[in-house]
Chains A and B, each alone.
Chain A
């Protein structure tokens, strides 16, 4: 069963700005979907459409076969949302905030407290549980928002830049938690971010967005074969043959694009035959960043 379905989803704001343009995506249970693109790509608008905060101009979207525009409260009961604009109450402490949100998700105060304390422990906020939110740092607030989104054990998580403002250690903690939630609890994660490197660490599938358009969608392997097949061979050597010197970086490393593994021994042989010594050879597959830039530059050149 598809957990999330976007069919020709479009949103044009009253001013005429097309924020999302005919996007088609389907997500299955337990997937960690990275919805990637720069600011203004339409990621937050898509989350708002899936949360029922906005109504599509064209097309449709469903969450567990529910239309968020028609049944927002039913969709909200199934999902947890973390966005930059969804803050909590400064006058309440960390645990009081979680108890309040737990109670409006239908949990009893004792259930909310128990679950809240568990989450605060997991997110390393237990020592700050009785501090008012006004005393929390940006990173602590972000982690508490994450705890709030998980208080009612949702089936889907909509995360909009969940690690912005977090130090590397806290960000890693959140990544591990996202991985664990999808693996052990089967939670589907719809993750919006512009940090492509971080997305590559935790996502199982990706959608690359630019100016409201879905440029490409699939797993990393699928994207590599669709967008830029091949790899880069990196060689550290001396006495580099003249015909290969154009691939040399300022650091003296050769970076040669290759289409198949057969090219590796051929190139190595040429260096050795010309009297050179090889100190290191490796192949690097295109990263998500490489794929994204390849897509955007290809689109620009087509214009």
Chain B
């Protein structure tokens, strides 16, 4: 990577943090999923224990490890290691979609793309710089979301049960395999839509399709059809990595002057 590409990456990342509307969109979903949801869930179980009993019956379906005899601790463990991992996947999809839509379609919409195309960088370098910027923002948002989620859950866990509840191996695959690859898939979908899309919102609709498999995973898990084990996540991660590689290559071929300046 050269300094010219670094300048594009820096500019793209700064432009999203300077745009209040975009920045709010980036913040809302992670705050709801990683702070609000666990906070409300754990406190409601704590203050209304009858609800918790029904939930404990549901938990028998899942292979929860033996906890120190506390049903609340089991519920917190369920929250952290069964419920939140799938919800968490929405964050990298959303962050990379918002960022790449602004980076690719936003430039076209504001007529700044043509200026960038007249610079002494190859199309491949411009494409790479923009993909890297979107990817870095997505990873940054995911890392901050995970950290804040952990702080909320551990604080509540210690305050309620007197001990911490640790994340299991699933989180390793979520953070280091699935979140990065699913971000790349979302970025490539936006790039492919960028030729046809007239506005940022048009392009973001493309990434909504990625949420469907995530929702299916959630439904499958809650209906008992599917249990999201560490091994299943590893397989999903490898498939996502393959898909991301293929789609990146395809998107790069789609990234041509004439296609980009059409309309």
User: Which residues of A are interface residues toward B (Cβ below 8 A)?
Assistant: 48, 51-55, 72-74, 76-77, 79, 81, 83, 85-91, 100-101, 103-106, 148
Contact = CB atoms under 8 A, between A and B. Distances in A.
A76 B7 contact: no
Interface stretch (B108-116, B135-143, B217-225): B108-116
State the main secondary structure of chain B at its contact with A.
Answer: helix
Q: Which 7 A-B pairs have the closest CB atoms?
A: A77-B120, A103-B7, A87-B111, A86-B115, A76-B120, A86-B114, A104-B4
Given A73-B120, A101-B119, A106 B114 contact: no
Contacts of B11: 89, 100
Interface string B80-118: 000000000000000000000000000000111011111
Nearest to B112: A87
A195 to B, nearest CB: 22
Contact of B4 (A48, A81, A103): A103
A68 to B, nearest CB: 10
B113 to A, nearest CB: 9
A108 to B, nearest CB: 8
Given A81-B118, A85-B261, A103-B3, 11 more contacts: A51-B118, A53-B257, A55-B258, A72-B122, A72-B257, A87-B111, A89-B112, A91-B15, A91-B19, A104-B4, A104-B7
Most A C-beta atoms less than 10 A away, residue of B11, B18, B261:
B11
Contacts of A52: 257
B8 interface: yes
B64 interface: no
A55 B115 CA distance: 18
A104 B114 contact: no
B144 interface: no
A106 B4 contact: yes
Given A54-B258, A103-B3, A89 B15 contact: yes
Interface in B1-45: 3-4, 7-8, 11, 15, 18-19
Contacts of B119: 73, 76, 101, 104-105
Contacts of A81: 118
B120 A105 contact: yes
A83 B112 CA distance: 11
A76 B112 contact: no
B120 A86 contact: no
B121 interface: yes
29 contacts: A51-B118, A53-B118, A53-B257, A53-B258, A72-B123, A72-B257, A73-B121, A76-B120, A76-B121, A77-B120, A83-B114, A86-B111, A86-B114, A86-B118, A87-B111, A87-B112, A87-B115, A89-B15, A90-B110, A91-B15, A91-B19, A100-B7, A103-B4, A103-B7, A104-B116, A104-B121, A105-B4, A105-B119, A105-B120
A6 B258 CA distance: 20
Q: Which range holds the interface residue count of chain B?
A: 20 to 34
Given A72-B257, A104-B4, A53 B117 contact: yes
Contacts of B117: 53
Nearest to B125: A73
Most B C-beta atoms less than 10 A away, residue of A51, A74, A103, A105:
A103
A52 B257 CA distance: 8
Contact of B8 (A72, A85, A104): A104
Nearest to B122: A73
Interface string B162-204: 0000000000000000000000000000000000000000000
B228 to A, nearest CB: 41
Contacts of A72: 122-123, 257
Contacts of B7: 100, 103-104
Given A55-B258, A104-B7, A106-B4, A88 B120 contact: no
Contacts of A91: 15, 18-19
Contacts of B115: 86-88, 101, 148
Nearest to A81: B118
Nearest to B15: A91
B24 to A, nearest CB: 15
A70 B44 CA distance: 64
Interface in B114-156: 114-123
A103 B11 CA distance: 11
Given A91-B18, A104-B8, A53 B261 contact: yes
Contacts of B111: 85-87
A76 B258 contact: no
A99 B13 CA distance: 16
A168 B116 CA distance: 29
Contacts of A48: 261
Contacts of A100: 7, 11
A76 B118 contact: yes
Nearest to B18: A91
A148 B18 CA distance: 22
A252 B229 CA distance: 98
Contacts of A54: 257-258
A148 to B, nearest CB: 7
Nearest to A74: B120
Contacts of B110: 87, 89-90
A73 B115 CA distance: 13
